[in-house]
């Protein structure tokens, strides 16, 4: 909230609020004192009051816009105020009524034993609340019949009356405003199409209710069997027993700042093929990246998502550290663009890859992880052609803002360059840059003979343009232009994904309308624009060859690591 407020200074005797005016501004007193006087109307007037630092007033303006019920005047020589208008509040957080309603949904949901005992993670609860739907039924409607299929889910009645009859149990009862119905339907964990109702439910008075369906619940928590009991204690998903001796090194897939990525195969289980990230301890230490490498390992170990690279094992031997990851056979998305005319892809292909990236970033952001290095080179295609996020070396757990300048210059957000503090909105900016590059063939702020400083100047101060079909032979569809323009808003608080609707605003944008319905991307229900043709699980034909470097690696001598440096890797 504080980041959305502006500071104002008033002097002794200045009138801050006049009684009777329409309220549209909320105030917090930072310094000094104010007098609340002529409070109330008619016979309900109250004594004058004095307000000081930390107190607030005008909060009703955020919800009702009613006339002010008192005068507020500065009585200190100088009064510092933090100010936020109703428009700014609603733009960044939504309508206060909606926020209150969401809070009530949260309380109701967690009051149900099956959900309370499940000990759901905070991001899971928020995901469930995002999927709550409003449903209505007219009086006389039969919404459930014994022996017939019915939708499973839990619903909270906010208006109206329903009469429920269960002849087998000899029960007749009514459900009215505030009642919950459907919890028993979640006890059936078999195929949804096999569920049958056991009661007759008829609407007596027009009903309005909020519904959380089985489909929505399973999309968030995986299976209904998680409800009603705490999650089991689980060990790390990583294979703690794997060592370098278990793996056969085949060839180099890529080169990084501190090492290489090898195609490897498990000796005892040859069907298991991996990408082995090998990094040099001394180089990591020399660049001051020890903590970041350990953080990357810990973040990857905590994540399980089909569109973020899966970490299988992590270990260290001698002067190297190793991260064993799933082998993604399609190669870099960057190379896909390089092989196409104009170094860009069709609108439909960009929508598909952009949807994959949006799901990946959303998964990280819900866990308060910002990625900070989105670019085409960090997106790899798997065997089905789906784009998967890799290389979380700059990823960081952040609940507010972070101030480290990092990432790739072409994709950095203005607030990252200026050092004013950045959060998830910086990833949204990078997403906008990547969408533009996929559709146009170059990043939006790159120009001929660019230097890093001239590039940064453009990002911070200047705009960008889209090519036109008439002049350049290719263009960007209106919906594509709109989502990019809104993602590349200079001010992070006004950027798509960072205003009231959050990342739902990105997923529900018209550009994604054909593809982001009910998690079709995550469930891999859509055919990718390009599916790699592969001979076998070891086919690495979509990666560059590094034969000379591989020959050098055969002659590598292990370096003795000083004890003080070795200690820094103890938590890897």
Question: Can you state the angle between helices 214-221 and 122-130, rounded to 10 degrees?
Answer: 150
Look at the chain and count its residues. 572
Instruction: Looking at 398-535, list the stretches that DSSP marks H as alpha helix, in order from N- to C-terminal side.
Output: 414-418, 424-440, 452-461, 469-472, 478-487, 504-507
3-state SS, residue 551: helix
Pairing of strands 311-317, 320-326: antiparallel
Question: Can you state the angle between helices 424-440 and 347-365, rounded to 10 degrees?
Answer: 170
Catalytic residues: 373
Q: Which residues pair with 39 in a beta bridge?
A: 46
DSSP string, 360-392: HHHHHHTTTEE-----GGGEEE-TTS-EEE---
The closest alpha carbon to 411, from 432, 383, 392, 425, belongs to: 432
CA distance 132 to 44: 41
Q: Which helix (H) or strand (E) holds 359?
A: helix 347-365
Q: Are 561 and 319 in contact (CB under 8 A)?
A: yes
* 421 DSSP 8-state letter: -
**What separation in angstroms does the CA of 139 have from each of 28, 153, 286, 452?**
47, 21, 73, 67
* 308 DSSP 8-state letter: B
CA distance 296 to 556: 26
Pairing of strands 25-31, 56-57: antiparallel
CA distance 234 to 134: 36
CA distance 442 to 411: 11
State the Cα torsion 112-113-117-121 to the nearest 10°: 0
277 is in an annotated binding site: yes
Residue with tokens 């043709």: 533
Residues marked as binding for ATP? 277
Residues marked as binding? 277
């Amino acid at each position: 909230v504080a980041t959305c407020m502006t500071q104002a200074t008033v002097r002794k005797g200045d009138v801050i609020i006049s009684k009777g005016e329409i309220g549209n501004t909320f105030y917090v007193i930072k310094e000094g004192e104010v007098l609340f006087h002529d409070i109330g109307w008619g016979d309900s007037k109250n004594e004058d009051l004095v307000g000081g630092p930390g107190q607030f007033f005008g909060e009703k303006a955020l919800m009702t816009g009613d006339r002010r019920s008192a005068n507020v005047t500065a009585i200190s020589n100088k009064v510092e105020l933090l100010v936020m208008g109703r428009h700014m509040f609603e733009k960044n957080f939504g309508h206060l009524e909606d926020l209150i309603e969401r809070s009530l949904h949260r309380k109701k949901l967690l009051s149900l034993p099956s959900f309370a005992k499940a000990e759901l993670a905070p991001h899971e609860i928020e995901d469930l609340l995002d999927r709550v739907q409003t449903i209505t039924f007219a009086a006389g409607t039969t919404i459930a019949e014994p022996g017939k299929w019915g939708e499973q889910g839990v619903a909270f009645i906010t208006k109206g009356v329903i009469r429920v009859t269960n002849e087998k149990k000899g029960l007749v009862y009514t459900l009215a405003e505030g009642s919950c119905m459907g919890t028993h339907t979640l006890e059936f964990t078999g195929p949804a199409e096999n569920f049958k109702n056991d009661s007759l439910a008829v609407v007596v008075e027009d009903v309005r209710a909020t519904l959380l369906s089985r489909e929505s619940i399973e999309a968030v928590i995986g299976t209904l069997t998680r409800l009603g009991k705490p999650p089991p204690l689980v060990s790390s998903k990583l294979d703690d027993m794997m060592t370098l001796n278990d793996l056969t090194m085949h060839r180099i897939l890529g080169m990084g700042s501190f090492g290489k990525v090898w195609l490897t195969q498990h000796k005892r289980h040859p069907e298991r093929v991996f990408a082995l990230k090998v990094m040099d301890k001394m180089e990591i230490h020399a660049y001051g990246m020890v903590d970041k490498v350990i953080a990357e390992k810990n973040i990857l170990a905590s994540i399980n998502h089909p569109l973020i690279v899966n970490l299988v094992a992590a270990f260290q031997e001698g002067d190297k550290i190793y991260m064993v990851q799933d082998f993604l056979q399609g190669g870099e998305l960057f190379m896909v663009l390089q092989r196409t005319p104009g170094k860009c892809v069709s609108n439909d292909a960009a929508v598909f890859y952009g949807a994959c990236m949006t799901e990946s970033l959303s998964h990280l952001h819900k866990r308060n992880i910002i990625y900070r290095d989105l670019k085409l080179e960090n997106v790899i295609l798997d065997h089905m052609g789906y784009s998967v996020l890799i290389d979380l070396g700059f990823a960081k757990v952040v609940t507010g803002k972070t101030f480290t300048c990092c990432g790739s210059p072409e994709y950095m957000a203005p607030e990252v360059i200026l050092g004013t503090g950045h959060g998830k909105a910086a990833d949204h900016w990078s997403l906008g840059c990547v969408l533009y590059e996929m559709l146009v063939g170059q990043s939006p702020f790159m120009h001929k003979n660019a230097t890093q400083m001239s590039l940064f100047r453009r990002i911070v101060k200047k705009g960008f343009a889209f090519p036109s079909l008439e002049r350049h032979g290719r263009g960007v569809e209106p919906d594509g232009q709109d989502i990019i323009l809104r993602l590349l808003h200079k001010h992070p608080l006004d950027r798509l994904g960072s205003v009231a609707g959050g990342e739902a605003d990105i997923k529900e944008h018209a550009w994604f309308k054909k593809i982001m319905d009910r998690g079709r991307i995550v469930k891999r229900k859509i055919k990718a624009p390009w599916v790699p043709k592969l001979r076998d699980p070891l086919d690495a034909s979509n990666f560059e060859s590094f034969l000379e470097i591989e020959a050098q690696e055969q002659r590598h001598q292990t370096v003795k690591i000083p004890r003080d440096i070795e200690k820094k890797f103890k938590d890897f």
